Amino acid sequence: MTRLLIALILSLTSLTANAAGPMSTSKSFDIRHKTLDRIIQSNSSLEISGTFKVWFLLGEPVVNCTASWNNPGISQVVLDSGTRVLAEPGEEDLWKLMLMAQFPNTNKEARRLHNGGGAHLSLFCDAGVVAQNGRGGFNVAGSPSWDKFICATPNKIDTNYTFDVERREEDLCTSVGGEWLPSAAAKQVALAGIKIEDVMVHSFELSNGDTLRRAEKHLWRMKSYEHKEAKAASIMERIRATGDRGTYVANDLQRRFYGAKERDSRLSAEGLRKMDDYIEAAYAELEALQTGARAEVAASWEARDKALVANQLERVAKVDTAIKQRDAEVDAYVAMLDERAKNAPAGPQNPLENYIKPSQSLTAYRGRETQYDYGLKDQSGRFVLEARFKNIRPFGEAKGGYFDLYEVQDNRDLAHDLDLGGVRYGSRKVTWVAGPDGKRLTPRFPASHLARIGLFEASGGMLAFIVEGHLPIIYSLPEERVVLNPFTNRPSGAEVNSQPLAMMNGGTLDRTSKLADPQYYVRKIGDRFYAYSKPWGSQYNRPKPVCQSTHGNGTTEPGIYPTYVYDILAERYLTVEEFPCVSN
């Protein structure tokens, strides 16, 4: 492994003095973690979703992750009798959730050494106390040292298999059979770009003291009922032993108190009370038939009554101690997070902060006097893109400078067709984004214009390529992936609002009608970023407002409910019940 680490340092391309710093990255995840943990119900998976983020602050790495538990209520407690009691949502705490993000090592030399050693690289993140069942989570960003930042493993790790992780090992990298990259090698990997492939659960803690309390209460009621039932049976036996009259009385008592022995309600408070009434009535009848018999039977049960209570008190004390000890562990962990939060590193000001410069590196210039004669040149006058594009527009201002990014409209590179989920586009306007060296950073998308959604706010660095007659294609520049392709990812029935619209000039408008003239938008509404479609009607007769839409800046105006809505950051279509009000 030592040879591997040396190779990582020596074989990576050295950086020029003016190279950009390491890029921020993030990865949304949905995990179904199989676990053999005895606390999880058999054949269940732990379902977790969230975001794993990495950025760099003052030259140091920062890692943060948020998570939600999507299927609470799958944990269980196993009593000493072997009885398994399943938790109810809200009774559990999922905490100390350690996540492991993995990505392939692009350094081929490193992969060849040591039987594939270093073929995969991993990052670790503590997701803290996980949100679930309407309760918020609590996590804190961490800034590991460079030499405890990236873990190199010979193979990709699958934490669903217990032999891939030694959870008793405190060092996270060692626990998955890896070695930490030295600082220099870790920095080179970061500068080359971290592209997270997937996120897995490394380990977690789960506490369900409330479930245990409920289970113990149930167990006590069951033991108590069985004890009372046995006592009642012994009294009835003495009553029958007094003769024919006693047999008649015993049978009559059973008829009167039959409800006390109904199995479906016997463990309820009412069921236990009925059993007490049954015992008291039996004692009274026994004493009437045979003076002094009540005291004799009661005395024979006194020791057993005391033993039952004493054993229960001892058991409750042990259970209470165990629960308090576990609660103390959770409290200590939360206190540790509170302390860490006081000095936690700040979040990235912008997901594309590495593209923010005091001034833009390139300038758009005109070449030949035709409609296809825009190009890009650098500050020395060197042409980095020849003048053959319909238009080139630098991105706008950013906090602290300008985005060193350029929107390129290209009509020539579409001699071939672009295929988007079976919908083919030929000889249409194409838009893509160039970086500070003039190289293409995004795929070419058929687009009428580019909406720079989120570049000026912390929303993941999303670009919206507005396609004529469709929802936009949403592309994440930091993650280099398509977040939404409306040609392959269409809303289902539950995500489409088919309600007719009342019109301002009277009458209604069917949303599916050609007169509805659907329009497509990308907007910030409240604190969320949405792509959505709404019917326009016509310039003479627009839909009647039915709600108040809140803009990103907090202002409101009358609005309507759209036809369908895509939450860009959550990466899903909203159901109709979740729709925001949009401006009219």
**Residues 580/565, Cβ–Cβ less than 8 Å:** yes
Q: Using alpha carbons, select from 135, 53, 569 the residue that is nearest to residue 347.
A: 53
Question: In sequence order, what are the beta bridge partners of 142?
Answer: 63
Question: In sequence order, what are the beta bridge partners of 200?
Answer: 100
**Residues 282/293, Cβ–Cβ less than 8 Å:** no
Residues 107, 111, 114, CA angle at the centre, nearest 5°?
140
pTM of the complete model: 0.56
Which helix (H) or strand (E) segment is 219 a member of?
Answer: helix 209-240
Q: What pLDDT, on a 0 to 100 scale, did the predictor assign at position 218? A: 82
Secondary structure (3-state) at 313: helix
Q: Using alpha carbons, select from 396, 422, 417, 415 the residue that is nearest to residue 407.
A: 396
d(CA 239, CA 281): 12
DSSP code string of 520-531? EEEEEETTEEEE
Q: What pLDDT, on a 0 to 100 scale, did the predictor assign at position 511? A: 87
- What DSSP designation does 439 have? -
Q: What pLDDT, on a 0 to 100 scale, did the predictor assign at position 155? A: 84
> Tokens 């401006």 appear where?
583
Q: What pLDDT, on a 0 to 100 scale, did the predictor assign at position 573? A: 92
Q: Retrieve residue 61's tokens.
A: 């790495």
d(CA 428, CA 409): 10
Cβ neighbours for 83, distance < 8 A, ≥ 6 positions apart = 215, 219
d(CA 557, CA 534): 16
Q: What pLDDT, on a 0 to 100 scale, did the predictor assign at position 95? A: 92
Under the phi-then-psi rule, with left for phi > 0, alpha for psi from -120 to 50, and beta for the rest, what region is 511? alpha
d(CA 360, CA 402): 6
Q: Using alpha carbons, select from 501, 361, 503, 329 the residue that is nearest to residue 438.
A: 361
Q: Retrieve residue 198's tokens.
A: 């997937």
Q: Using alpha carbons, select from 376, 493, 492, 485 the residue that is nearest to residue 433.
A: 376
Per-residue pLDDT 10s for the chain (584 aa) are 333 333 333 333 233 223 345 767 888 899 999 877 778 887 888 999 998 999 887 778 999 998 999 989 888 888 777 778 888 888 888 999 999 999 988 877 665 544 545 789 999 999 999 988 777 788 899 999 999 999 999 888 888 876 778 878 889 999 999 999 999 999 989 888 888 989 999 999 988 888 888 888 888 888 888 899 899 999 999 999 999 998 998 888 888 876 545 544 666 777 888 888 889 999 999 999 999 999 999 999 999 999 999 988 988 898 888 888 888 998 999 999 998 888 888 766 566 777 888 889 999 988 866 667 899 999 888 999 988 888 899 988 877 788 899 999 887 655 445 667 666 666 567 889 999 999 999 888 887 778 766 555 545 678 888 887 888 898 888 778 888 888 888 898 889 999 999 988 888 888 888 777 888 988 888 767 889 999 877 777 888 999 998 876 678 889 999 999 998 877 889 999 989 999 88
**Residues 352/455, Cβ–Cβ less than 8 Å:** yes
How many angstroms separate the first and last alpha carbons of the chain? 63
At position 188, the amino acid (one-letter code) is Q
**Residues 128/137, Cβ–Cβ less than 8 Å:** yes
